[in-house]
Homo-oligomer: A and B are copies of this chain.
Amino acid sequence: MTNPSSFSVILVEPQLGENIGMVARAMWNCGVRDLRLVNPRDGWPSKTARAACSGAGVVVEATRLYNSTSDAIADLNFVLATTARTRDMTKPVFTPETAAKEMRGRAQSGASIGVLFGKESSGLDNDDVALADGAITVPLNPEFTSLNLAQAVLLLSYEWFKFEDQTIPYELQMPDDTRPANKQELLWLYHHLEQELDNTGFLMVTEKRPIMIRKIRNMLARAQMTEQEVRIYRGMISSLVRKRRPSDAFPGASED
């Protein structure tokens, strides 16, 4: 099965049904759905796994069972093995990010991809690692590298997902009923505020006035106000001033 939008997760001798369920959940969070099990200790299907998948039933229902790692990867073209750092085999070693990039490239060229994860207690054995085209090691705090199975699957699946994710990496979220303020609206706000500050004497030290105004404008500019917020801000200024000088209106100010 060639599917450039997914890869296969192969759990070799997983011990806890709960972890299998949490793996399914982490996979499906990232749109990965082909789960394969090699000799799960507590058998399959598993009620515990079903309960722990928190709604990722689409993965659990389709999970396939195998008697050996070789059988589980027989139809795949490119397989990586997750391991703790070792130096006793000659193999390319990837981080989750570079692995995901490599996997995406190969998947786009038509390869079927799989990643092997070992049992919770001891990981993959060397014979399983030797079947793989490369290794993945998750770089972690050297003082504490104990990562649970579902979290290892999550980190790799998330890196994979990021490569096709269309989410804008950064955006200014904007409610539907407004828009970013334009510079004219901001200038009206600045003039409004500065005139009122002149009136109160806040800007009365002549030689400091330009510096103070720049500071205030910089501060207001950084807020990246919406048109609505500019009206609210001007309303606040008018309101504050009204206490002092109740009859005064100011050009461009909304008084509602």
Interface, chain A (partner B; CB < 8 A): 25-26, 28-31, 54-56, 86-95, 97-98, 135, 137, 139-141, 143-148, 150-151, 154-155, 158, 161-162, 165, 167, 169-176, 178, 226, 229
Task: Knowing A26-B151, A151-B154 are in contact, say whether A144-B94 is a contact too (CB < 8 A).
Answer: no
Copies of this chain in the oligomer: 2
Task: Knowing A95-B167, A174-B90, A229-B90 are in contact, say whether A55-B144 is a contact too (CB < 8 A).
Answer: yes
Q: Does B92 contact A172, Cβ atoms closer than 8 Å?
A: yes
Q: Kindly list chain B residues whose C-beta atoms are within 8 Å of the C-beta of A174.
A: 87, 90
16 contacts between A and B (CB under 8 A): A26-B151, A29-B141, A29-B145, A30-B140, A31-B143, A90-B178, A90-B229, A91-B172, A93-B173, A94-B169, A94-B170, A95-B169, A97-B162, A135-B173, A151-B151, A154-B154
For the complex, give the distance between the alpha carbons of A55 and B155 in Å: 20
Q: How far is the CB of A246 from chain B (nearest CB, A)?
A: 31
Specify the chain B residue showing the minimal Cβ separation from A29: B140
- Of the listed residues A29, A91, A93, A145, the one surrounded by the most CB atoms of chain B closer than 10 A to its CB is A29
17 further interface pairs, Cβ-Cβ under 8 Å (given A90-B173, A139-B165, A140-B161): A25-B148, A29-B145, A29-B151, A30-B140, A54-B146, A89-B175, A90-B172, A90-B226, A93-B170, A93-B171, A94-B169, A94-B170, A98-B170, A141-B161, A151-B151, A151-B154, A155-B158
Q: Kindly list chain B residues whose C-beta atoms are within 8 Å of the C-beta of A178.
A: 90
Q: Kindly list chain B residues whose C-beta atoms are within 8 Å of the C-beta of A92.
A: 170-173
For the complex, give the distance between the alpha carbons of A161 and B54 in Å: 28
